[in-house]
Amino acid sequence: MRRLSISRPARILHVRIRIFGTFEDYSRYASTNHHGFEHESLSISNLAGYYSQRDNEVVTWRQRDPTYLANNILHECSHAIMHQQFRVLPIWLDEGCAVYFSFPVFMRDAADDRRLKYQWHELKKWMDGGSLPDLRNF
């Protein structure tokens, strides 16, 4: 049985946010500086950004849509917050919280609402079916 290991949080969270002007610049930087990136199996080319726990840095690029960039920064910064609070996080909890916090109500569009409703429906189905992992296991 694994349990969430809570670390003592700093009083103030400092996270560097590095925003590149182009995807090419972002990709070039990320290909050599993504140490500490947890999802090594993913290609950097399909990521809007990432959080480096080692460097305590969010790395992204300036997308065409400012709302998409803002959602991406919220998503990646939520990883920083979670990793400050917990030493070990299961990926479903880390990504689930990041997705949840990256879509504040005032920034959602109809597609975001549909996606979030679908995800909540799936979670409820897993919970009702008894297949959602219990947080106490972590």
Q: What is the pLDDT of residues 41-53, one digit of tens each?
A: 445 555 789 999 8
Q: Is residue 9 part of a domain?
A: no
Q: Is residue 107 part of a domain?
A: yes
Residue 125 sits in which domain range?
16-137
Q: Is residue 11 part of a domain?
A: no
Q: Is residue 73 part of a domain?
A: yes
Q: How many domains does the chain have?
A: 1
Element (H, E) at 19: strand 16-20
Nearest to 47 by CA among 56, 35, 37, 36: 37
More confident residue, 2 or 53: 53
Q: Is residue 124 part of a domain?
A: yes
pTM of the predicted model as reported, rounded to 2 decimal places: 0.69
Q: Is residue 102 part of a domain?
A: yes
pLDDT greater than 50 at residue 1: no
